[in-house]
Structure 1
Amino acid sequence: MEVLLKDLVSSSKLLSDFKEMYDYENRLKTFTNWPFVENCKCTPENMAKAGFIHCPSANETDVAKCFFCLIELEGWEPNDDPWEEHTKRRSCGFLSLTKQFDDLTMEEYYMLEMTRLRTFLCKTGRSIINSFEEEVAATRKRLVDNFVSSHQYTPQPPVPIQADPTCPPSESS
């Protein structure tokens, strides 16, 4: 349960931090040690224009995530066009903007932000629910194993939980 609570706290911070990523300069600043700098399509500038932020891991130095739709891509090659790679994998409200972010009305901004929040909450919620279900299954198994070893009992299979139909489907990167 502590792990789930830590995940919630971490997600809350990430949600707040990503709000700052509407600004191109903030996205661009994340691309320190990006492996593609010159003579290629996936430069830090082009990545940031396509909504990506740099999220390297210990094993992968070229992981980029869209701050808005949260698609995460890795395995970039010099001729990969960030805008094209982004759009062919997911419909993203940020990429759909028809004007510069600074030119949005307050109403347009709030509608855009509601979409971002919904996507974030659905994806984060799905991840936390999956972790919780794994923890429940492990606990149930321990309890059943303990009970079966003490009594003659045949356990019933667990009932699966249905996904929320209003959340966008999860994707593989």
Structure 2
Amino acid sequence: MDPYNEEDIKMYFFENRLKTFEGWPFDEDCKCTPENMAKAGFIHTPSENSPDTAMCFFCLKELEGWEPEDDPQKEHKSHSPSCHFIALKKKVEELTVEEFFKLQKEKQKFILNKSCNENITKFEEAAKLKRADIIKRATGEE
């Protein structure tokens, strides 16, 4: 895991996040325009079933089911109050190198946490299946 991966670093910049919103279902006359979504740190991560899924590039919080009146800044803050990106008081371009490295360290914590949680979930699901299999064998229900 490279914390200074070029593709990853690109998402700190508004223009690169904005480019991900091709095909975004909300455009004019609403609060969750591609511009407002990108300003709030989101990138568009659609799936077949959810064309309006967006994820914060920093804290990795995914949100879907957007409504035209949803304010991306407020939604981001309410669903991920510990996100350091949404709490920034200045533009990325104005950060010192030290501030950027501190921010990147916090981002790595989000990445590690998400990865660990996904692995724990996989392990628990596998353990549940194995337990059911053992019980079947022990009771002769094969």
Match of 2:109 in 1: 118
CA distance in structure 1 between the aligned counterparts of 2:18 and 2:67, rounded to whole angstroms: 19
CA distance in structure 2 between the aligned counterparts of 1:77 and 1:144, rounded to whole angstroms: 47
Mark the runs of 5 or more structure 1 residues left unpaired by the alignment.
Answer: 1-11, 151-173
- Cα displacement (A) at 1:144: 3.8
Does 1:84 pair with 2:79? Answer: no
Give the alignment of 1:8-157 within 5 angstroms: 16=5, 17-91=7-81, 92-149=83-140
CA distance in structure 2 between the aligned counterparts of 1:134 and 1:19, rounded to whole angstroms: 34
- Cα displacement (A) at 1:137: 2.4
- Cα displacement (A) at 1:64: 0.8
What root-mean-square deviation, in Å, do the aligned CA atoms of Structure 1 and Structure 2 show? 2.1
- Equivalenced residues, count: 138
Offset from partner CA, 1:58-99 (integer Å, 9 cap, x none): 111111111111111111122211111111222110011111
CA distance in structure 1 between the aligned counterparts of 2:9 and 2:128, rounded to whole angstroms: 35
Mean Cα displacement is larger for which, 134-143 or 39-48?
134-143
The one-letter code sitting in structure 1 at the alignment partner of 2:42 is F
The one-letter code sitting in structure 1 at the alignment partner of 2:51 is T
**Divergent runs of 4+, >3 A:** 15-19
- Cα displacement (A) at 1:124: 1.8
Structure with max Cα Rg: 1
Q: Give me the TM-score of the superposition, normalised by structure 2.
A: 0.87
Mark the runs of 5 or more structure 2 residues left unpaired by the alignment.
Answer: none
